[in-house]
Amino acid sequence: MTNTVKLPVLLLPPSRNLVIRLTGDRLLIEDLPDWLADYTGEQAANLIGKSAEAFLEPFLPGLSELVRQTSQQKQNLYGFKACLTDRNGDSHQLLLDSLLPAEKENRGLITILMQEVSDKIPAVLEKATFCGLVGSSEPMQRVFNKIRMYAASDAAVLITGETGAGKEGVAAAIHQMSNRATRPFVTMNCSAITETLFESELFGHEKGSFTGAMRSHRGRFERANGGTLFLDEIGDLPTLSQAKLLRVLETSQIERVGSETPVKIDVRVIAATNHNLEKLSQSNSFRADLYYRINALQIIVPPLRQRQDDIELLIQHFIKGLNRKYGRSISCLTREAVQLLKQYQWPGNVRELRNLMERLFAENQTDVIGLRSLREWYEERMNAAQYAPGKDYSDVTILPWQQPIRLGMPENEAVPLPRTNGEKKLSEAELRKAYQMAEGNITRAAELLGIHKATFYRTLKSLNLEREDLMRQAD
């Protein structure tokens, strides 16, 4: 059941950029996202060219100081926390990065990348945690229900799922919920044991039974007596080892290597694999009788890409554990960072997500982690993506610290819109066509016309038009 997961193009959330122009001592709004304008009770078009200190500072104290500090120091400033109070008096915690333009012709402009700090309460995480497993999604709730049902049985369980999906955690949860919980939970990775050592590791050996056997050794079955034995990656067992394991499961007794005395055991076996054992048994790559013996009960662990609603919960879960492990106090990832991670397909599943969180802890000293911290990881994933041959990816939105690119024309649009170099005044018809093609997205409409979003707004205002007018058909 090994799956080749194709990595998708990662698209950023809608624009979080506020652009300020410094003209002498004046700070003028050059561009701003609609959501920020909504917080002030104004339309974005009405704020273009207005004073940032007069129209934004009351809602976002410290913004002007951040812009001036960036300009004076002539360097990007990262990780400023701020509180935005909207027109209704509601507070929004933000993380601000101020970015200087790379192009000389845009000197005087400063971009403020604004990200909202997640406010999900820890109580949600507690309710979504079950025996160490985290998930509120429907696929994981089905897994939790099966764990509850199967815990009362002593029948063998086969857990299937992709690498890193959390199969061992499911096995541990079954043991924890069962009446064997006070007895040992012993694990063995079948892919890590050679065929020559299999019997010794699983069944044990007597002193002197072979060269190097300096003392008696209890195998995994004996150590798990009365409890649970978890056999991970059972699909990798050699055929001869499969036969020996089957005999033990059928007789419930073992013989140590070098001994002729059988030992009675009481062990519940839980096996896991990322292979399709039924298909392997049909091709004689895995013993059919062993497959049916270990597959009395089955649990399929869903891959992380099928439970995206759990990603933020898992992030919080790992933050909590890593804070405790490293003595840190990281509170969360910004909503924009979480939204970016939700788009990724996670071929390594939960294990890959945990590894990324370990990396973020090692690379960051701030208490809130934002998009900037994901830059290197993002670029690595984009480079690793296997794009479909012939597919045009020119419409990919890239990270705000990278050079902007033009959006591609819709595939169903045969006639491109006229491009303007800023000297030709756009007509109402051209604005309307671009706006309708972009399905009401101002940023995309401006890109289709080859102009800046602020220019689109100014042209709209000069024609005495509202956004609603653009969706109406021309007379």
pLDDT in tens, 406-439: 222 223 333 334 444 444 567 888 888 888 887 7
3 state DSSP class of 254: strand
Domain boundaries, the chain: 17-116, 138-301, 406-475
DSSP type of residue 366: S
Q: Is the pLDDT of residue 213 over 70?
A: no
Over residues 270-287, mean pLDDT = 94
pLDDT higher at 469 or 406? 469
Distance separating alpha carbons of residues 393 and 407, to the nearest angstrom: 9
pLDDT at residue 328, as a whole number = 93
Distance separating alpha carbons of residues 456 and 106, to the nearest angstrom: 18
CATH number, domain 406-475: 1.10.10
24-61: pLDDT as tens digits: 889 999 988 888 999 899 888 889 999 999 999 999 99
- Amino acid identity of residue 343, one-letter, is Q
Over residues 87-93, mean pLDDT = 89
pLDDT at residue 254, as a whole number = 85
The DSSP line for 81-145 is EEEEE-TTS-EEEEEEEEE--SSGGGTTEEEEEEEEBP---HHHHHHTEETTEE--SHHHHHHHH
Token digits of residue 350: 């939960």
CATH number, domain 17-116: 3.30.450.20
Q: Using CA of residue 391, residue 392, residue 398, residue 401, what is the dihedral sign?
A: positive
CATH number, domain 138-301: 3.40.50.300
56-84: pLDDT as tens digits: 999 999 999 999 999 888 888 888 889 99
Highest mean pLDDT among 7-21, 145-159, 432-446: 145-159
